[in-house]
Structure 1
Amino acid sequence: MPTDATPAHPRKRKHRRLALALAAVVVVVAVLTGLIASGVLWPTRVLAGRYAVRGVDVSVYQGTIDWTVLGNENLDFAILKSTEGSGSQDSQFAANWEGARDTDLVVGAYHFMSFESPGETQAQNVIDTVPAEAGTLPVTVDLEYYGDFFDNPPSRETVRGILDPLLDALEEHYGVPPMIYTTQKAYDRYVRDNYPDNPIWIRSIAAEPNLPDGRDWTFWQYSSRDRLPGYDGEEEFIDMNVFSGTHDDLRSLTQ
């Protein structure tokens, strides 16, 4: 019996199915991207869950911190921003140090290294700011790109000329080798095959770290998009980290 309807050509049906499949993929990717951006999902959380010892790092951007509340969030350590360059101090450091030290957390401080001032004066800034107290983690030097240096990284020689005297002065004052926090790109350029006595704290938010020289990491920052109760700063997220050893190993790392 004749009909006015014309069946779709097989090729057109195939193209339509392909278009629908691609649209579905785009939607799924968009949803996953949104969940990751909002901190609901984070690719490395499952991998980091294999490590029993975990902690946070904070700065002025987390605002005023209630350390009693934050310290009860199944955390073992907290590393606090203290200083930056040769003349800048984190305005919340003193309060964070006092508050965190009143908890059971193992506490440390980190210094954001500048590529624009001498290591000796940066070390003095740290020494003038961070107490040398027993039971605290070694001071950390944060070595990473910032600003225009993402596109124009300083040379290895320039960085070593700042980093080496900075590390030496901090070790002399605090009595233990400082830790080095770094990204995988900065590690490969400036740290690889050097500084064997300095524990490594590595940032890797896409996968578990695999250092190019085969070295073991000590701390791993696996997320910068977590939310925990206890702070009220302009930054709604908090950085999460794990330690590669046991609770006793963490304690043995302290000064």
Structure 2
Amino acid sequence: MHPRSKAVVAVAAATVVVALVAVLVVRGVLWPNRLAAARYEVRGVDVSSYQGAVDWPRLAAQDVDFAYVKATEGSGFVDDTFETNLRGAQEAGVLVGAYHFFSFESPGRAQAEHVIATVPAQDGLLPVAVDVEHYGEFFDDPPDPETIRAELRVLVATLREHYGVDPVIYATQAAYSRYVAGDFRDSPLWIRAVYLPPRVSDGREWTFWQYSHRDRLDGYDGEESFIDMNVFRGDLADLRLLRPGG
């Protein structure tokens, strides 16, 4: 075969391989971070109404140790599966906590009061998590960092006072760099890094890592066929110590 023909065949073969890998990643069959995440023994999910009805015993049987379930967003929205998911996870023996999606458009105090009105201060629950990420128009036009930090400080302080522990802060790497880095040191960090292991901009160690947003497990029937997967840095005893009273 002529050298040029060999090169053409090699390029074509490489293109086919890359395309096949891309398809497998899109379908959630392959995921870049799974090997790196496998070194951590405590594994969990986060869910919302997008996963529909969750069969928690079935989910727990797939090596799921903990879960965060969506409770609230902004100062008025409540996820309609929150109470069912919270109760179902507890009954299945899964360590569970609630998460709140932080709005750039609502005062921190109003958001905190909304969380407090929705999420019980219940023994055994993991600390409330606050999800800080860009959304909608704010991807292209992010709000002022100092304004957002000020509202986030109010939210965190109010939740700490009510629940007796610092809330967990979940953030994408971009949102972390803009709104969290260098601050909120007492809050456990939950970082989203779905293609490569986390590289936190201020060198801080993460406590939770969301390593995939396109996994598939058995046990839910919602409009979203994928589920977010996370690991915890530590063992189950360490995870239990995050709860109020340890």
TM range (shorter): over 0.9
TM value normalised by structure 2: 0.97
Note if 1:234 corresponds to 2:231: no
Which structure 1 residue ranges, 4+ long, deviate > 3 Å from structure 2? none
Mapping of 1:67-216 within 5 angstroms?
67-216=56-205
C-alpha distance in 2, partners of 1:98/1:246?
Answer: 23
Which letter maps to 2:232?
F
Q: Among residues 220, 230, 242, which one is paired with 1:253 in the alignment?
A: 242
Contact residue 149 and residue 180 of structure 2 kept, 8 A? no
Deviation for aligned residue 1:17: 2.2
Question: Which residue of the partner structure matches residue 36 of structure 1?
Answer: 25
Q: CA RMSD in A?
A: 1.1
Say which one has the larger Rg.
1
Note if 1:61 corresponds to 2:67: no
Size of the alignment, in residue pairs?
244
Deviation for aligned residue 1:30: 0.6
Q: What secondary structure is seen at the aligned counterpart in 2 of 1:254?
A: coil
For structure 2, the residue ranges without an aligned partner over 5 or more in a row are none
Contact residue 170 and residue 191 of structure 2 kept, 8 A? yes
Note if 1:25 corresponds to 2:30: no
Contact residue 213 and residue 229 of structure 2 kept, 8 A? yes
Deviation for aligned residue 1:19: 1.9
Q: What secondary structure is seen at the aligned counterpart in 1 of 2:209?
A: strand
The range that moved more, 45-54 or 63-72, is 63-72
Which letter maps to 1:178?
P
Which letter maps to 1:20?
V
Deviation for aligned residue 1:103: 1.9
Identity %: 56
C-alpha distance in 1, partners of 2:31/2:57?
Answer: 26
Question: Which residue of the partner structure matches residue 5 of structure 1?
Answer: none
The range that moved more, 197-206 or 155-164, is 155-164
C-alpha distance in 2, partners of 1:218/1:231?
Answer: 26
